[in-house]
């Protein structure tokens, strides 16, 4: 069997084991180790098993991952972000679908201190869904909105997906963050438009917009947003002013979150312990997957499978747009069965050389890839955000109702992907300003 054939056999075995629900990190490491052994021998395989994990984990940029995770978990367990939803509710409750729109705005605010789609969905599901149900919102609209709004968490920086992508693609994380701001803001506005139009054309989805909140209460509600605003200013102000790096901003943000939680008397040993433990568990899982992906890259290079695939795709002499559309279709399909980070790390060794051969920027692709991976968080049968919202709200809704609620938003996401492909300068405008 040729080396390339061994490479393709390894890829086939890899997907088979993943479909059998074996943890993706261990599958990546095991298949890559055996593949390297088959191609270049046991000594090189054993050497790779020792060197690759160290070289990857020793990357200084990766230290920001646990720090941003800790920031998000601290904000979640000390409930620092609840004021964002309350303020949005006070200002937006008088328009059609106001509470649903407020949940989208609240998710965008949470995203600015979290970087986690699942954390966004869980937090807003606990805060916003019961409120919407109390005001007789359609269950599908209420839960679908929260599930979809959680996807903003990976777009608006800090974003764990963008950090990992930046490390692997050797792209500027600061520029990825800037591109993510544009994509996140546009996505937020698009979701608001979907809610407004749906309720406008079908008023039965939400109660009449007749609640009048006094101006004094609206202004007072803004005072509750200061924890998130302070943390955002601390992170982004220093980051984009050049005071500290994206890596250091994780430490600044998590420290600020702890100080704010103490100042608001929300910090307790139990909350701190939960945040620290969840950070350790999540970071460990991410590193195992990332190390496995690094070994897969080495295996595909040794076997020549990655070069063969890239050359095969380019041999069709398709236009850059057609290539990108093919990549989009691939991630939409994979997103249905794979979790986002595993999907990204599994495919980048093959996809990156293809993207580099086109006119599209790796910064642009990193942001679009993040958007595609987050679409996978709401598409069946996996749809992790859907199941997170269902677990939070319990028997208030069925899983099928939540999936029905995301359909209109899913259509809007596909439209946004088309816009980002047709007009890449939308994403690249802010990153290019910093060049």
Q: Is residue 227, in this structure, part of any structural domain at all?
A: yes
Count of the separate structural domains present in the chain: 2
Q: Is residue 252, in this structure, part of any structural domain at all?
A: yes
**Judgement on whether residues 245 and 381 belong to the same structural domain of the protein:** yes
Output the six-digit token pair for 197. 């139009």
Q: Is residue 277, in this structure, part of any structural domain at all?
A: no
What's the pLDDT at 181? 92
Question: What are the CB-based long-range contacts (under 8 Å, 24+) for 413-416?
Answer: 413/187, 413/371, 413/375, 414/375, 415/190, 416/186, 416/187, 416/190, 416/371
What's the pLDDT at 159? 85
If the chain, 435 residues long, is cut into consecutive pieces of 10 residues, what is the mean pLDDT of each piece?
86 84 84 92 88 79 81 81 76 81 86 75 80 86 91 86 89 91 94 94 78 73 80 79 77 88 89 90 82 83 80 76 90 82 82 87 96 89 79 80 91 96 94 76
**Judgement on whether residues 173 and 239 belong to the same structural domain of the protein:** yes
Q: Is residue 162, in this structure, part of any structural domain at all?
A: yes
List the one residue out of 376, 353, 377 whose CA is nearest residue 365.
353
Q: How far apart, in whole angstroms, are the C-alpha atoms of residue 67 and residue 312?
A: 41
**Judgement on whether residues 173 and 248 belong to the same structural domain of the protein:** yes
**Judgement on whether residues 93 and 48 belong to the same structural domain of the protein:** no
**Judgement on whether residues 416 and 380 belong to the same structural domain of the protein:** yes
What's the pLDDT at 384? 78
**Judgement on whether residues 75 and 53 belong to the same structural domain of the protein:** no
Structural domain boundaries enclosing 201: 63-267+305-433
**Judgement on whether residues 47 and 167 belong to the same structural domain of the protein:** no
Q: Is residue 273, in this structure, part of any structural domain at all?
A: no
Query: How many CB atoms within 10 Å of residue 1?
Result: 9
**Judgement on whether residues 314 and 382 belong to the same structural domain of the protein:** yes
Q: Is residue 278, in this structure, part of any structural domain at all?
A: no
- Residue 335 and residue 117 in contact, taking contact as beta carbons nearer than 8 Å: no
What's the pLDDT at 208? 67
**Judgement on whether residues 170 and 227 belong to the same structural domain of the protein:** yes
**Judgement on whether residues 19 and 87 belong to the same structural domain of the protein:** no
- Residue 416 and residue 187 in contact, taking contact as beta carbons nearer than 8 Å: yes
**Judgement on whether residues 123 and 232 belong to the same structural domain of the protein:** yes
Give residue 7's Cα distance to chain centre.
30
Angle at 341 between CA 85 and CA 279, to 5 degrees: 60
What's the pLDDT at 413? 96
Task: Locate all alpha helices (DSSP H) within 238-316, ordered by sequence.
Answer: 238-240, 246-263, 269-303, 305-315
Please identify, among 275, 303, 331, the residue that sits at the C-terminal boundary of a domain.
303
**Judgement on whether residues 155 and 172 belong to the same structural domain of the protein:** yes
Please identify, among 303, 328, 354, the residue that sits at the C-terminal boundary of a domain.
303
Q: How far apart, in whole angstroms, are the C-alpha atoms of residue 384 and residue 210?
A: 35
Q: Is residue 232, in this structure, part of any structural domain at all?
A: yes
pTM of the model: 0.83
Q: Is residue 30, in this structure, part of any structural domain at all?
A: yes
3-state secondary structure labels for all residues of 203-220:
HHHCCCCCCCCCHHHHHH
């Amino acid at each position: 069997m040729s080396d390339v054939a061994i490479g393709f056999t390894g890829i086939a075995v890899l997907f088979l084991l993943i479909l059998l629900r074996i943890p993706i990190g261990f599958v990546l490491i095991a298949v890559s180790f055996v593949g390297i052994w088959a191609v270049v021998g046991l000594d090189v395989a054993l050497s790779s098993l020792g060197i690759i994990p160290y070289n990857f984990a020793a990357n200084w940029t990766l230290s920001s991952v646990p720090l941003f995770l800790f920031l998000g978990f601290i904000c979640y367990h000390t409930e620092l972000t609840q004021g964002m939803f309350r303020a949005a509710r006070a200002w937006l409750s008088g328009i059609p679908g106001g509470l649903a729109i407020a949940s989208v705005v609240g998710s965008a605010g949470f995203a600015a201190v979290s970087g986690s789609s699942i954390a966004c969905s869980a937090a807003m599901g606990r805060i916003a869904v019961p409120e919407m149900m109390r005001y007789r919102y359609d269950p599908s609209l209420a839960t679908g909105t929260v599930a979809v709004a959680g996807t903003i968490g990976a777009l608006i920086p800090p974003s764990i997906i963008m950090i990992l992508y930046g490390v692997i693609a050797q792209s500027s994380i600061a520029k990825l963050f800037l591109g993510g701001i544009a994509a996140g803001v546009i996505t937020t506005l698009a979701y608001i438009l979907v809610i407004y139009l749906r309720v406008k054309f079908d008023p039965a989805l939400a109660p009449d917009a007749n609640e009048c909140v006094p101006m004094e209460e609206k202004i007072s509600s803004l005072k509750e947003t200061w924890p998130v605003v302070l943390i955002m200013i601390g992170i982004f102000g220093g980051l984009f002013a050049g005071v500290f790096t994206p890596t250091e901003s994780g430490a600044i943000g998590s420290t600020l979150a702890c100080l704010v939680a103490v100042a608001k008397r929300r910090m307790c040993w139990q909350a701190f312990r939960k945040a620290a433990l969840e950070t350790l568990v999540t970071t460990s899982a991410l590193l195992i997957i990332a190390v496995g992906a690094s070994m897969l890259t080495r295996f595909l290079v040794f076997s020549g499978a990655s070069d063969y695939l890239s050359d095969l795709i380019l041999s069709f002499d398709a236009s850059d747009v057609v290539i990108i559309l093919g990549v989009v279709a691939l991630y939409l399909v994979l997103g249905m069965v794979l979790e986002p980070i595993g999907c990204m790390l599994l495919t980048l060794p093959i996809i990156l050389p293809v993207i580099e051969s086109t006119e599209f920027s790796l910064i642009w692709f990193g942001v679009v890839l993040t958007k595609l991976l987050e679409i996978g968080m709401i598409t069946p049968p996996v749809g992790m955000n859907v199941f997170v919202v269902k677990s939070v709200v319990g028997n208030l809704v069925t899983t099928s109702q939540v999936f029905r609620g995301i359909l209109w938003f899913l259509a809007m996401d596909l439209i946004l992907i088309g816009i980002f492909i047709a007009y890449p300068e939308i994403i690249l405008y802010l990153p290019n300003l910093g060049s």
